[in-house]
Structure formats: structure tokens, C-alpha cells
Amino acid sequence: MFHVEQFKINDIMNITKLKNAVRNVPDFPIPGIQFKDVTTLFKDPELLTELSDTLYEMYKNLNITKVVGIESRGFIMGPILATRLHAGFVPIRKAGKLPAATYEDSYEKEYGIDTIQIHQDALNENDIVLLHDDLLATGGTMLAACRLVQKFKPKQIIVNFIIELEDLKGRALFSPDVQLDTLIHYPV
């Protein structure tokens, strides 16, 4: 598990800078939800570089062969991180969006049921997979993504989020043997 203590004091200040730049959008997508908007990190070149550098430093020595990004915000940092790590990028998409044969998994999220898919030839047993998405809330999307990736029996699966909403306890869904890392932590 990644802990902020692993970073030097400059890295902690950089994470604080990233955290302070995340926009809070009340009542989106439904009333009562306080949406954490990471697009503010992506639009600023300095913050995007800082985020990219921080994620790269976390994983540069783990021999990642594939970064798997979850639709849609996982498609932003996922390919950037894959390029930095000299790894391939694999998308997990909503049902009906991938053109070739797929595996799929359905899950319950905060506001309904959803289904995600991955191409059946996306990964193999020799891969070390970094699963990436922007936010860990209740954990349903990433848990379904983990089940999809597990179908390929890769050497290792590592899970990464930019943000974790700690009070929603999404982390509790994952077994202790899953390396689950987050950069920015918020109470709900």
C-alpha cells in the first residue's frame, strides 16, 4: 500500500498543491453528491506535469507492462502514465463501446447499475497491470474492473486512484493482498 510517508517533504507539498486544486462541485450528478472534479488538475500544465511525475515515481520500478484505464477519466492519466512507464494502455469501457470480443462485469454504483467491458485479447498471464481511475468512492467500478482483469490471470494487479473519499470506505471491498494506492484523501 502506498503511504504519503514514502515521499520526501517536497512530494508532500506537491500533493497538497494537487489537493488544493481539485474543484468541489455540489449536487452533481445528483443532489447530495459533492463531486470532486479532477479536470482542474488536467487543464493546468504545471499541475498535470506534477500529477504525471508523482504517479510515475510511484510505479517506475514495478515493471508495469499494461496500464488499464476505466472510462472515462481513467482515459486521461492512464495513457500518460503508460507512456511514461513504457507500458501499453488498455481501456475498460461501458457496455457496447468496444468493437471486438469482450468480457463484461456488472456492478452497483452510487446511483444505479452499470456494466463495463474489456477486450478478450487485452492482457495475458505475463502482464503486470496497473489499474487506474480518478476517484475511489464506494469502489464498485474498480472492483468490477479488478474482476475483469483477474480473468487474464496476470502476474500482478496494482490499483491506483488520484482521489479517495475515505468515509465511503470503498477500500474495504478489496482484499488485503491488493496493492491499492491513492494520492489525495478527503473525508466525504
Kindly list the catalytic residues: 73, 110
- The vertex-141 CA angle with 176 and 44, nearest 5°, equals 100
Task: Residue 85: name the closest of 124, 118, 46, 58 by CA.
Answer: 58
Residue 42 in grid coordinates? 488536467
The sign of the dihedral angle between the CA atoms of 53, 158, 116, 84 is positive
Residue ranges of alpha helices (H) inside 22-160 are: 39-43, 45-59, 74-85, 140-150
Cα 72 → chain centroid: 10
Q: How far apart are CA 170 and CA 174, in angstroms?
A: 8
